[in-house]
Amino acid sequence: MPLGERLGDKTDSRYCGVETEFNDDMPQLLSCNMGGGFDFVVSPLMDPTYRPSLMEAGIPPFAGSDLVLSPLQWSSHVVGKISSWIDLDSEDEILRKDSEIVLKQEIAWASHLSLQACLLPTPKGVSCANYARCVNQILQNLNNMQLWLRIPLEKADDDSLNGNCDPLGKGQVDSWETWNCFRLLCEHHSQLSIALDVLSSLPSTNSLGRWFGESVRAAIIHTNSFLTNARGYPCLSKRHQKLIIAFFNHSIQIVVSGTPVHNLPMGSSELAANHTDNFDSVQRHSLRAYLDYVAYLYQKMDPLPEQERLELGYRDFLQSPLQPLMDNLEAQTYETFEKDTVKYIQYQRAISKALLDRISDEEASSKTTVLMVVGAGRGPLVRASLQAAEETGRKLKVYAVEKNPNAIVTLHSLVKLEGWENIVTIVSCDMRCWDAPEKADILVSELLGSFGDNELSPECLDGAQRFLKQDGVSIPTSYTSFIQPVTTSKLYNDVKSHKDLVHFETAYVVKLHRVARLAPSQPVFTFTHPEYSTTKDNQRYKKLQFEIPHDSGSVLVHGFAGYFDATLYKDVHLGIEPSTATPNMFSWFPIYFPLRTPVCVRPGSPLEVHLWRCCGSTKVWYEWCVTNPSACPIHNSNGRSYWVGL
């Protein structure tokens, strides 16, 4: 049965498995463990004593028939565990050959059974090249089954090693190096993922953080990692608890492994009666107390907020950014943005402050402020402006400028419905082409993209500022873009699946979820409005250096997450940069700049990044590259793959 009911959580992390020894009676094994409350077993498919070199030719090695369970039982409740003795990089040629035969036989059998996944043993020794070669061969022709490479969650916090140790040596210090070596040899294959062995001691928080951007499918918790609480039951340290809850939030399943190491107090069988269905409480599963504790951690998690539940389908889903000048938005897009009440509350606050600064209380009844909403859409900023005027007791004359003829229809209906005919003038025109009948005191716009300037707010407002008074105010007054390096295997593989250059040179809008943020974000480009400089230029170039925290260990950078922060007016701001993000605002997801070839950064080695904003006569585009610790090609040269049309 699932660990519990959590509103909005339909991911695999609801299900908990158990690692078992080999048993040639699979129906009995499954019945015992599922009756004990577990949802699936991680079980060997072959007798561990079998060796091809010791068997006569033609004798099948498998432990029973595929008919002992139904296809649904095989696929839903069994993860195959590949024999742990195999060593494909052994110096012993017989062991190496036996290992290769058995690996291929067992995975072929698991594939025949339509299992969802197989657990591969941890690489052994100083090299994993042959192991990776054989796995890579298998992956080329595998059905939809996942291969989970078992990796111990360990990293020695030894500064003197400085990340230069043999990644697979006997003096292993960082198991991430093992994983990185293996997945690079297998070309980042999307069906190769990770099962982390969670041990009794954990590495640093920064070291753990790397794994949340990797393709971790399961976390195996050993019974000897559990502590004992005051009542004699198993529990976990605060750090382990936090880690397990983070696993749940990242759709990572838990697997309990090992033998009981706690002598449970008398009466624990009565507790079991509340959790079992057809399983006799007297035969309570020996690991049930560990399962109960994992379920307790799951059940005490906060429910997902409503907005998060609505956005579940967008997690780690690549979307092309809007082209607001080339394309007219659809009604559904307008409606989504208009629901973001937080954004419009911030705009109303900014407009109210600007009105109070421009019109004194003595002038309030006699003086009218001219306010222009450029890019009015279906009218949410018009409404916010009029609400600000009512709140401050200031008189307002509003021009609503909008190029989308379909949105203009809605604007006319809104003005008529609200009785704003004497206050609001609707202008059906591109703001860059409009000849305004008078100058504005306040210019209001919502032209910002996920990266601030990526929907061409600078170009639009440059064209509109000619009808702003010399002392006029633009809302927003400025905005800055930010980037930070990230590990995100999911997004990298999704981009790679297109098998072309164009997708690696496109910036995407993404609700980032399975991502490791490797260093604090840094500012990139800033634009200020109005901009009266005689040397005004919207082209930009920035070189940034990121320092990966030393205790993270080595990391793999798949690309960069981009954000923005905007000053609407004075101290009123809004944005999505993580450290200053406006709470509960959902109009923008981050932007993602991929790298064609991920860059491995060792501890102590700075990551040097270059980003350009380029402007042509008909388009604006970004180019980006990494030059340290190794150089990569400049992405999107001359806007060949991705641009925003003027």
- Binding-site entries for S-adenosyl-L-methionine: 334, 343-344, 402, 430-431
Q: Please, are residues 63 and 21 in contact by the beta-carbon 8 Å criterion?
A: no
How far apart CA 447 and CA 324 sit, in angstroms, is: 8
Pairing of strands 40-44, 16-19: parallel
Binding residues: 334, 343-344, 402, 430-431
Q: Please, are residues 642 and 503 in contact by the beta-carbon 8 Å criterion?
A: no
SS3 labels along 360-401: CHHHCCCCEEEEEEECCCCCHHHHHHHHHHHHHCCEEEEEEE
Q: Output the CA torsion 105→107→110→115 (10° steps).
A: 180
Backbone angles phi, psi at 162, to 5 degrees: 55, 25
**Terminal C-alpha separation, the chain:** 55
Q: What are the structure tokens assigned to 155, written together?
A: 């990293």
Please work out, in degrees rounded to the nearest 5, the angle formed at the alpha carbon of residue 29 by the alpha carbons of 28 and 30.
90
Between the alpha carbon of residue 304 and those of residues 7, 301, 379, 563, the distances in Å are 7, 9, 31, 23
**Is-catalytic flag, 455?**
yes
- Choosing from 455, 459, 577, 623, the catalytic residue is 455
How far apart CA 435 and CA 135 sit, in angstroms, is: 67
How far apart CA 370 and CA 472 sit, in angstroms, is: 10
How many other β-carbons are positioned within 10 Å of the β-carbon of residue 14? 19
SS3 labels along 294-321: HHHHHHCCCCCCHHHHHCHHHECCCECC
Backbone angles phi, psi at 252, to 5 degrees: -100, 125
**Is-catalytic flag, 177?**
no
Closest CA to 505 of 626, 589, 592: 592
260's CB contacts (< 8 A; 6+ apart) are 223, 286, 287, 289, 290
DSSP for 47-64, written as a single string:
-TT--GGGS-TT---BSS
What residue has token string 């059905």? 143
Closest CA to 621 of 597, 645, 593: 645
How far apart CA 225 and CA 198 sit, in angstroms, is: 8
- Choosing from 446, 459, 505, 623, the catalytic residue is 446
The three-class DSSP label of residue 245 is helix
Q: What are the structure tokens assigned to 108, written together?
A: 């072929």
Please work out, in degrees rounded to the nearest 5, the angle formed at the alpha carbon of residue 57 by the alpha carbons of 51 and 61.
45
Instruction: Return the bridge partners of 460, or none.
Output: none
Q: Which residues are catalytic?
A: 446, 455
